[in-house]
Homo-oligomer: A and B are copies of this chain.
């Protein structure tokens, strides 16, 4: 089964577009966990335990683990073991390097860590993406139009009549022979998200930028999903995992996640009216 088909199955079963970003920050972990042997791991364990029935995916941003040093790598590895096999994992590292290095990254993230998918930066072109595409069951999300303000600096530059990010979208569509490529489009760009969904009616779109970054959930849901009301993967990180800094953090995360999922279901329902 291709990565895209697998994502459809998960989304049908979970009835959810929600992806929780496991961007665990040792400075923000509730104080009562700090006496534990590995506070970051315990934090993730409780977040996953409290939310796994509400999500289609978890997305650890690799930066937050790498910056912890050796213990971060162990934490990432152990965190992945807590995620049920039926939920998608996205290794968010935004990698991009020449072929022999990209092969290394692909082997590490897919085979050693066991991620189902990763995020990639397209700047270095096809041979930096290709080593990640060989197994149709493993997916990539290629940065198209990112959620941050710097997305205007290069991504929106006009290449002929089209902006650069649209060139990336068309290339990704062309490269998608094995149905294992998706895109990253920030929720902070709803008009462009709508347009991109029309260009790629059947590719997954990972949509960050909801919550702390100011993107609107309604537009992300309604413009992000395909005709089957699938394939939008809407990420929230800080607004969920740091919903409370107290002992009730996991419960608060669940409440926040549940609210988002219910809102998304409502927004999708509105599409038929």
Contacts and interface: CB of A to CB of B under 8 A. Distances in A.
B150 A124 contact: yes
B122 A123 contact: yes
A198 interface: no
A157 B164 contact: yes
A217 to B, nearest CB: 19
Nearest to A62: B66
Interface in A158-174: 158-160, 164, 167-168, 171
Interface in A129-183: 129, 143, 146-155, 157-160, 164, 167-168, 171
B61 A101 contact: yes
Contact of A164 (B101, B151, B154, B213): B154
Chain A interface residue bracket vs B: 35 or more
Given A67-B104, A67-B107, A150 B121 contact: no
Interface stretch (A2-10, A91-99, A240-248): A91-99
Interface stretch (A11-19, A41-49, A68-76, A253-261): A68-76
B73 A123 contact: no
A212 to B, nearest CB: 9
A118 B243 CA distance: 34
A165 to B, nearest CB: 9
Contact of A148 (B67, B73, B125): B125
B155 A158 contact: no
Given A127-B150, A128-B148, A66 B66 contact: yes
What are the 6 tightest A-B residue pairs by CB atom distance, in nearest-first order?
A: A125-B150, A125-B153, A67-B108, A127-B150, A98-B148, A123-B123
Interface of A: 23, 61, 63-64, 66-67, 69-70, 73-74, 77, 94-99, 101, 104-105, 107-108, 112, 121-129, 143, 146-155, 157-160, 164, 167-168, 171, 213
